[in-house]
Amino acid sequence: MKLKHFTTYHQIRRTFSTLMVEPLQEEPLKFENTAANYFQLDPNPSNNVPRQVRGFAYSKCTPTPVKNPYIASLSESALNIIGLNKATLLDNKQLYADYLSGNRLFPGSIPISHNYCGHQFGTFAGQLGDGRAITLGDVKTGDGGLMELQLKGAGKTPYSRQADGRAVLRSSVREYLCSEAMHYLGIPTSRAASLVVSDETKVQRDPLYSGNVIWEKCAIVMRLAPSFFRFGSFEVFKERDPMSGRSGPSVGLQDDMLQHMLDFVLDHFYADLPIPDPPLTIYQSFFQELTRRTVKMVSHWQCVGYVHGVMNTDNMSILGLTIDYGPFGFMEYFNPRLVSNHSDQEARYCYENQPKTCKYNLKRLAEALDPVVPLAWSMEYIDKKYDEMYSGEYLDMMARKLGFKIQGQAKAELSDAEFQLISSLMGHVMPETATDFTNTFRILSKVTKVGPLDEVLDKLVSYSAPIEHKKAMNKPHYAPGALLKIKDILENNPHVLAMFGLDPDMARKELELYEKYKAFDTQSEEAHNLKNRETWAKWLIQYQKVLNPSITDQARAESMNKVNPKFILRNYLLEQAIRAADDQGDYRVVEDLLRMASDPYSEERISEVSVQPAPKWAYELCVSCSS
């Protein structure tokens, strides 16, 4: 039998007497408080004091008020999911600014924060938890599902560690816009309903961890998901890690808690999971489905050029959603080693590593779910199925991006020629030419089965990276002297590479980067463009030959343009929006980006300026975990 702990709203109101709780004229939100009612809550009254929380999945938390909050932007479609009306909110701006910032509690809300751990950059970090996110509860959606309302940046919780529980404006603008952009790109994601800002509540941050500490405005994003349970939610039982010396806060309690937590996830978010044939259990069936969802998610990432930036197990959704938008980036000039996170010096979470990182994270989850999901079985399942599932999903998406399959067409085996074209495009042509990822696929939709390729070729070359940018992209992560030592170790004592955080493959890639980097010193821009033109011309001739003669050029182009966006959130566009908001309090650029992100495949609604690759001033833009 499941243990349940019910806490009345009046008890919460007495406990959180510092917050204003007053009924709305119309009470549009009817809170279910599913997690608060299912789990016994941490009873410690010090709900805003950082500490280790043992034996509880959630703690009660009070949002900490900010000074004079105001609504900066609202996502109408996200608000509609939870039954809120944008016009109503704008007619009552100050009241709803208080609700959406946490200054007031919605009637019926039981605010809580979640306890979880995580492997960060491959090392177990112990207890992490919702350090600045407070869940208000969940509500039923129009389709009968559940949607959790969470305020990010709402103040300290037991999981804040040494931090202040706040989120700053720049990171909040990024999360707000990208959550919505990913939804409209068709990628499984959490949503963002509102962006609320306080110009008067400020906190200190070091944006690039360079020692340059500045004061920044605070902001709060209301984000939505059926649940924010993570892989790391189940790592709270982990015994002492020999590398980090850390353990989970609930080590030794898995017999009491693990199955109960799994049942919560299965009962509420995997209710449609078919009962498996023996000897598989429902928990093994869940693990299979989560693996499938994770594969689908990361395949989508790769096919739009999205780089998450911080793929720790605590940032991996148990529902297969993209969550926790921090130092993310979208691919512009193609670079398989693209790192969006300034803190990721070893490129652990670069673009090309994302699929294998998801596989690694699933294995860490498998360890955490043992023995309810037997470890030997789950590890064997991942090793046998993951790569095959990823390859199938990724190739199917790429086939549609290139027009080998059109919308409505069922999955089918790729021909050898189609497979070779995908492989050569992503493995050779794009890395060699560093052509703008998003624009490439829109341009390719203009290729016809017969006819000249000159116009398409001119466009592709014009969207290829200038030589100075290409050189910067290939800059090694190690100094020349260090690379000489790495080369010597690789040739004579490769087992020693682990001491430097490298394996032989990584070492070889670094050495290859260095050779490419040096080669640019002797190459002119003209020669560079000519080489790009030759590379593209060879591929385009083969591509044109392979196009399906039974599909008209118009049908193929229309289908391709429905899966290849015209608009993505380029870093420099986000930077412009952040500067306008922070310096002038002008959120019109935020609104413009939200409008275009809400219709990313449109030819008519997208500004031509916004689809251009980064200008020179933005080449070095990089984002850190500082937020």
Which residues are tagged catalytic? Answer: 314
First to last CA, the chain: 42
The partner residues of 213 in beta bridges, in order of sequence, read none
Provide the CA 413 distance to its chain's centre, in angstroms: 30
- What's the rounded Cα separation, in Å, for the pair 138 and 150? 9
Taking the CB of residue 9, how many other CB atoms lie within 10 A of it?
16
- Does residue 457 contact residue 435 with C-beta atoms inside 8 Å? no
Whole-angstrom distance, CA of residue 359 vs CA of residue 363 = 6
Q: How many CA atoms lie within 13 A of 361 on its CB side?
A: 32
φ, ψ at 481 (rounded to 5°): -65, -40
Q: Which residues pair with 316 in a beta bridge?
A: 322
Instruction: Tokens for 371, please give them.
Output: 């023995």
Separation between Cα atoms, residue 237 and residue 483, nearest integer Å? 41
Q: Looking at the DSSP assignment, which residues form a beta bridge with residue 202?
A: 217
- Beta bridge partners, 571, equal none
Residue 226 token pair: 């059926």
Does an H or E element contain 199, and which?
strand 191-205
| Amino acid at position 307, single letter | V
What is the rounded CA–CA span in Å between residue 547 and residue 444?
Answer: 11
**CA nearest to 430, candidates 342, 337, 317, 515:** 337
Q: How far out from the chain centre does Cα 50 lie? A: 26
Dihedral, CA of residue 183, residue 188, residue 193 and residue 198, to nearest 10: -100
Tell me how far apart the alpha carbons of residues 74 and 482 are, in angstroms, rounded to a whole number: 50
Interhelix angle 553-563/437-444, rounded to 10 degrees, is: 160
Distances (CA, A) of 623 to 38, 171, 341, 405: 38, 9, 5, 36
User: What are 322's strand-pairing partners?
Assistant: 189, 316
Strands 306-307 and 133-140: unpaired
Task: Give the helix ranges, DSSP H, for 342-415.
Answer: 354-369, 375-401
> What secondary structure does DSSP assign to 167-186, as a single string?
EEHHHHHHHHHHHHHHHHTT
Which residues are bridge partners to 333 per DSSP?
436
Structure token digits, residue 582: 């922070």
Of 558, 539, 547, nearest to 461 (Cα)? 539
Answer whether 352's CB lies under 8 Å from 337's CB: yes
Looking at the DSSP bridge assignments, the partners of residue 119 are: 124
State whether residue 225 is helix, strand or coil.
strand
**38 in Cβ contact with 2 (< 8 Å):** yes
